[in-house]
Amino acid sequence: MRIVLLGAPGSGKGTQAKLLTRKYHVPQVSTGDLLRAAVRAGTPLGLQAKAAMDEGRLVSDDIVLAMIRERLSHPDARKGFILDGFPRNLAQAEALDAMLENLGKPLQLAVLIDIDLDILMQRMTGRRTCESCGQMYNIYSSPPKLEDRCDVCGGNLRHRADDNEETIGNRLRVYENQTAPLIDYYRKQGKLRTVQGLGEIEDVFAAISKVVEETLAEETTAPSAAARAIGAMKKAAGKKKAAPGTAAGAEKQAARSKSQSKSQSKSQSKSGPKSRSAKKAASTKKTVTKKTAARKAASTRQAAAKKASAVKKTRVKGAVTKKTTPKKQASTKKVASKKASVKKTVKKKAAPKKKTAVKKAAPKK
Ligand code: AMP
């Protein structure tokens, strides 16, 4: 499990990270804790970091990233980690992504513990931490039984040097300007989940556990967050109308024509028999009309040439005409199918006049 806890200073990231550690058996990695340890130990890195920490500014990215790289290389971090207080700005978030990508173990989840900034001041000024076991208290909301003594191990409780009003003000400003943009950063990656930070510690923890469980369940059944992000991008692209001429446009066009021709052939096959008999009837009526015209023409001596041609046509269609009177449509079908050549001729000649014939035929029906 690889998680980042996001939230303003005092939102409860440290407390929740400890609970998650106990439940999921992965280490809490807190850059604040690592820096404080370095300051206490008086290492060169600690001395460098101290001034920034005392003023509530961010320690340089180089120092913090070197610390994180070193910590994540420990064996206990192989099965996962809960990052608390890191990343604190976009450069750190991008460096973390690159680091985890190299390991082939991308971040799975970023949980934002959302809380009103006004409440944070009281929370932070009341904060006390056990020097021995790290247990956290708040003299306002969750005080120890004995003043300045840890309930768990009896160790000394310490008030953090940077938990004074001036420094807290600076830290909250730094959070707003530099860390809050990470909310959008992880939202765009499809990895952000938000829980409300107000209320009992157990309730907040239950809400965080729920999103962790959901994420783990999704990972086993669904594509990864990266695949989801790609899916979301594709979906967004699909919503934009595919431009004609583009591959997507061509694909859509092909799909449309396919479904059109399918539905056409369906409707054609549904209306097939009716169409054929209608055609036959129309063809019969056309022939009758032509025959009449030919007879009239024949009776007109001035149209000898027309008469001859009309007679020819009548002869060709004669077989059909005789058999395609409305009474004998059924037998016409058989004859027509047997005499393919005759049928072809009839169709060819009848085709251009189909519409007229149908129109004419309709009132008779
Ligand atoms: P925290 O305990 O997380 O509130 O951190 C205490 C102080 O350590 C901060 O106010 C910063 O000065 C410094 N710090 C902790 N984490 C980082 C980080 N990721 N980047 C830069 N500075 C940090």
Alpha carbons 250 and 321: distance in angstroms, whole number: 49
For the segment 121-137, the average pLDDT, to the nearest whole number, is 88
Site to probe by mutation for ligand 1, drawn from 16, 18, 28, 53 as the one with most ligand atoms within 8 Å of Cβ, is: 53
Q: Is residue 157 part of a domain?
A: no
Q: Is residue 52 part of a domain?
A: no
- In short, whether 53's Cβ falls inside 6 Å of ligand 1 is yes
In this predicted model, which residue has the larger pLDDT, 347 or 151? 151
Per-residue burial over 76-93, b if 16 or more Cβ lie within 10 Å, else e, is: ebeeebbbbbbbbbeebb
Q: Is residue 5 part of a domain?
A: no
Residue 77 has pLDDT above 50, yes or no: yes
319-360 residue pLDDT tens: 333 333 343 344 444 434 444 443 444 344 444 444 333 343
If you measure from the C-alpha of residue 264 to the centroid of ligand 1, how many angstroms do you get, rounded to a whole number? Answer: 68
Q: Is residue 353 part of a domain?
A: yes
Task: Give catalytic status of residue 279 as yes or no.
Answer: no
Q: Is residue 297 part of a domain?
A: no
Q: Is residue 340 part of a domain?
A: yes
Task: Give catalytic status of residue 105 as yes or no.
Answer: no
Residue among 18, 71, 123, 171 flagged as catalytic: 171
Domain ranges, residue 329: 325-357
Query: Would you list the DSSP string of 23-70?
Result: HH---EEEHHHHHHHHHHHT-HHHHHHHHHHHHTPPPPHHHHHHHHHH
Instruction: Count the alpha carbons within 13 Å of 304 in the hemisphere toward its beta carbon.
Output: 2
| Three-point CA angle 65, 69, 70, nearest 5° | 120
Q: Is residue 128 part of a domain?
A: no
- The domain total for the chain is 1
Alpha carbons 253 and 232: distance in angstroms, whole number: 23
Residue 305 has pLDDT above 80, yes or no: no
Task: Give catalytic status of residue 295 as yes or no.
Answer: no
Q: pTM of whole model > 0.75? A: no
**Closest to 17 measured CA to CA, from 169, 124, 134:** 134
